[in-house]
Structure 1
Amino acid sequence: MPRIMTDFLDDAVKTHPNKAAFTEEARSLTYKELQEEAYRIAMPIIKSGFRKKPVALYFDKSIYCISSMMAVAYSGNFYSVIDTEMPVERINKIFEVLEPELVLTDRKHFENAKEFFCEDRIIVTEELNDSEIFEETIEESKAKILETDVLYVLFTSGSTGVPKGVVTPHKAITSYIVALVSDYKMDDTYVLGVQVPFYYVMTALDIYGTIAAKAHAYLIPKSKFLFPAYLVQYLYENKINLLSWVPSALCMIANTNAFSVADLSAIRLIVFGGEVMPIKQLKAWQQAVPDAVYINAYGSTEITDGCTYYIVDREFKDEDILPIGIPYSNCDVLVIDEHGNPITEGVGELVVRGNSVGYGYYKDPEKTAEVFIQNPLNSCYPETVYKMGDLVRFNEYGELEYYGRKDFQIKYMGRRIELGEIEANVSSIDGVDENCCVFDSAKKRIVLFYSGAIDDKTLLKTLRSKLPDYMQPRKINHLVEMPHNQNGKINRKLLATQIS
């Protein structure tokens, strides 16, 4: 198995040097060209003399961002990808925690970068295009890197208003990617269409999975997702055969029936994760692309993206929730009750163990100690596991089923209710495109937001036949379009502020 993340790229250069690795609107790089660009960017970082320090990457979804990731890894440091659309105030909060040594960016974002970082410590990648490479310097740097060294820190939202930086070492991502490529049976014939931004953990498959499988990935322009018909045409023209998207992006195509624009039968694998995939829209995809393999992937940033997956192998009713399946081959899971005791029946909290579990939160030992805990099944030696905060149970097939976040579980009218169950039933109703439930704690009521052609009265009438009275939303908001965050997920936090 590769020791550190750069080993995947080094191996690809040996076996597939002239094969296209990543393609965007402006350019395309082969594996050899990608490595050379990473080397050039790595040189000034190595010359700076620091190691095992943070370097911030300030790019849109681009090849320069990928080559910069690899460059930082070659230099023996670790990176954090910063969202270019993030407000400066939030970037400053991240930088107060991270304290990066350098910022890597491109000409497009250089002026913006100067608003939150010292100009003399910003490296503009295009200015290094003709710089000299000393391979001995790169090799010397790489030889000092341990698999336990940190590869990246990805920042997620924090309940206190301070972003949390999840620390991920080389060994976690290499282990996960080897398992992913094996379990998904990926090889160099795959052509990926990249949807998610690079500060989001789902890009582990898009970037590192591509490199490990020696595949080819297209960085789909953000503008294509504004027009489903153009997006479908783009997939067809570029012979894309693997999608790893959030369900909202897949639903956008299904809801507009854009399948008629072009033949998508070349797609062989569709992976979705990050939120619940509605059965109704999944069926639309299965009807349009019947020969593809559909995988429901589940995980979080804290455990290097994924811990379980389910290959869709049977029929489901529209109101059903897809299983999240079985563990990847590099990890294991257990379910614990509210007292921390392992259970095999009933609903409990999911706990993940294995070498894809991250180190914790950057400079935040208190938050780390809350969820990165000692394995409750092991009292003989230290073994850190991660408490997901998600409620699950085993079904009759031995697969895990997801019942929502612990913090999405509410106590209402004397009963415990999973908002995810209400959302699944709403999704099953014809005329509903997307929906989200939030709990109005001030007025003690369930509030439903939805988009689609169906009217409120018909929706409520249909929902009464599916759910008991205590699970019925007491207020409904019909939106023209559901708001989404930068990751493509429904913006639940924004909706919670729009309760009236």
Structure 2
Amino acid sequence: MNRNILEYLEQTASCFPNKIAFEDERTSCTFKELEQRAQKLGSVLAAKVSVRQPIPIFMEKSINALAAFLGSVYAGCFYVLLDTRQPLIRLEQILNTLETNMIVTDQLHKGKLEKKGFAGKILCLEELEEETADIAVLEKIRKQAADIDPLYGIFTSGSTGIPKGVVVSHRSVIDFIDCFTELFQITDQDVIGNQAPFDFDVSVKDIYSTLKTGATMSIIPKRLFSFPTQLIDYLCEKEVTTLIWAVSALCMITTLKGFEYKIPGTVRKVLFSGEVMPMKHLNQWRESLPEAMFVNLYGPTEITCNCTYFIVDKTYEDILPIGEPFPNEKVFLLDEQEQLVEKPGIYGEICVSGTALSLGYYNSKEQTAKAFVQNPLNTRYAERIYRTGDLAYYNEENQLCFVGRKDCQIKHMGHRIELTEIESAIEKVEGVIRVCCVFDEANNKIVAYYEGNVEKRMIVKEIKLQLPAFMVPNVFRKVDSIPITKNGKMDRTLLKRMCTEEL
């Protein structure tokens, strides 16, 4: 069994040395070339950074970034990708948490850092690569390595206003990717079309499925996600077989009627996550690609990508299950009294235990202790679980069904309401393309933002057949498009701010 993620790279480079591993808009690299680049970078970085320390990387997603990631790992460290568009103050908050003032970048982005006013130490990739690899140093580092060593860190927004960094170990990624690639039959014959940013954990599935199996990963230019015909041309040109995308990216193609232009006929696997998939859009995808496998994935960053999956086996008009746990992961529901939920239809918080749990939040014992706790159902030995803050229930087939965030459960007119239930009802109305509901506490109003060619009165008429009056939104706002975050999720925070300003 593998103990270090670099064994994926080395084994695959041995089997497929001259096969294209990764390609971006400017260049491509074989598995052997990537291995050699990473070993060279690892040798140089090892002389500058102690093992198990973070190496911040300031680049756009690219082959350069991947080489820097794996070079960091060869140095016995873990990598943290920094969003090049974020302001200096947030960069500095992350670096303060990591306790470093060093950043690895390339020549293309060095100027951006300097323009932002970054005063720390900049290591330029091109200069680092002028050195030669020291295999003896790398072997010494590997002998000291353990599978619980950190592999990467991903920073998410924190409730305190300071970004919090989820740190994930080699063991967790190996445990997950071994199951992931086997379950969904990802092999060296696949071409994975990468949509996710590299500081979003969906990309972990793209990158490490490629390294594990010998597939090829094609980094899709971000701009194409605004032009569906160009995006579909790209998928066809690259003969992409596998899409592991955010829901919003899939919905963009159907919203803009991309399949009326062309069907990307080589696509055989479509795996989606990040938020609830609207049934109208999923059904259009399935009608256009009837031979493809569609998989609904669920899971927060803290548990290494995903903890449940559901292979779509029929047409759903209402609630799409999030399914069953991945192998070697325990997923269960706890009610408000911390009792196990087993009966269908009863809401509970999704809790997870198993090897895939992350190491916690970097340099934040207090936040880690709040989210990663002892299983209250187990008083006999230490069992660490992660409380997701998400609500779910079991349907009559004993499949888990996602409800929404605990903090998306609002109190309105004396009733507890799930905003996602309202969204589900509105999405069924003919003419509605996408919808996102927010709650304006100050004015005690439910506000629905929606895309589509339909009037408010028609929406209200339709949803009154499904929902009680107290769940019908007080305000409807028609928008050209629902704003999304850079990670491809509907931007509820921005909508809530818009709602406050408008009302």
Partner of 2:456: 456
Distance 1:366 1:116, change over 3 A: farther
Equivalent residues in 2 for 1:115-130, closer than 5 Å: 115=116, 117-118=118-119, 121-130=121-130
Question: Matched residue of 1:61: which SS?
Answer: coil
Partner of 1:471: 471
Does 2:140 correspond to 1:140? yes
C-alpha deviation, 1:49, in angstroms = 4.9
Q: Is the 8 A contact 2:59 2:83 kept in 1?
A: yes
Which of 331, 338, 341 does residue 340 from structure 1 map onto? 338
Identity among equivalent positions (%) equals 38
1:170-212 C-alpha deviation (Å, 9 max, x unpaired): 1111111111111112111110110010000111111111111
Letter in 1 for 2:382: P
Partner of 2:131: 131
Equivalent residues in 2 for 1:322-333, closer than 5 Å: 322-333=320-331
Q: Is the 8 A contact 2:391 2:405 kept in 1?
A: yes
Equivalent residues in 2 for 1:164-313, closer than 5 Å: 164-313=164-313
Does 2:91 correspond to 1:86? no
C-alpha deviation, 1:255, in angstroms = 1.3
Question: Matched residue of 2:322: which SS?
Answer: strand
Letter in 2 for 1:276: V
Equivalent residues in 2 for 1:472-491, closer than 5 Å: 472-491=472-491
Letter in 2 for 1:432: V
Distance 1:126 1:453, change over 3 A: farther
1:233-280 C-alpha deviation (Å, 9 max, x unpaired): 110111001001111110111112111323322111000001110000
Q: Is the 8 A contact 1:482 1:490 kept in 2?
A: yes
C-alpha deviation, 1:290, in angstroms = 0.7
Aligned residues: 497
1:81-116 C-alpha deviation (Å, 9 max, x unpaired): 111111222112212211236311111110222346
Q: Is the 8 A contact 2:44 2:128 kept in 1?
A: no
Measured in 2, the distance between the counterparts of 1:48 and 1:256 equals: 49
Does 2:18 correspond to 1:18? yes
Measured in 2, the distance between the counterparts of 1:23 and 1:40 equals: 20
Q: Is the 8 A contact 2:241 2:266 kept in 1?
A: yes
Does 2:401 correspond to 1:371? no
Is there any run of 5+ residues in structure 1 with no aligned partner, and where?
none
Measured in 1, the distance between the counterparts of 2:431 and 2:126 equals: 48
TM-score of the two chains, using structure 1 as the length reference: 0.97
Q: Is the 8 A contact 1:91 1:116 kept in 2?
A: no
Letter in 2 for 1:385: I
Question: Matched residue of 2:285: which SS?
Answer: helix
Measured in 1, the distance between the counterparts of 2:327 and 2:400 equals: 15
C-alpha deviation, 1:378, in angstroms = 1.8
Q: Is the 8 A contact 1:350 1:391 kept in 2?
A: yes
C-alpha deviation, 1:118, in angstroms = 4.1
C-alpha deviation, 1:135, in angstroms = 1.8
Measured in 1, the distance between the counterparts of 2:206 and 2:270 equals: 12
Measured in 1, the distance between the counterparts of 2:117 and 2:352 equals: 37
Question: Matched residue of 1:498: which SS?
Answer: helix
C-alpha deviation, 1:453, in angstroms = 1.8
1:332-356 C-alpha deviation (Å, 9 max, x unpaired): 1111111211120211001101001
Q: Which moves more between the two structures, 426-435 or 330-339?
A: 426-435
TM-score of the two chains, using structure 2 as the length reference: 0.96
Measured in 2, the distance between the counterparts of 1:470 and 1:303 equals: 36
Partner of 2:59: 59
Partner of 2:47: 47
Q: Is the 8 A contact 1:22 1:63 kept in 2?
A: yes
RMSD: 1.3
Equivalent residues in 2 for 1:146-161, closer than 5 Å: 146-161=146-161
Distance 1:211 1:181, change over 3 A: same
Measured in 2, the distance between the counterparts of 1:49 and 1:60 equals: 23
Is there any run of 5+ residues in structure 2 with no aligned partner, and where?
none
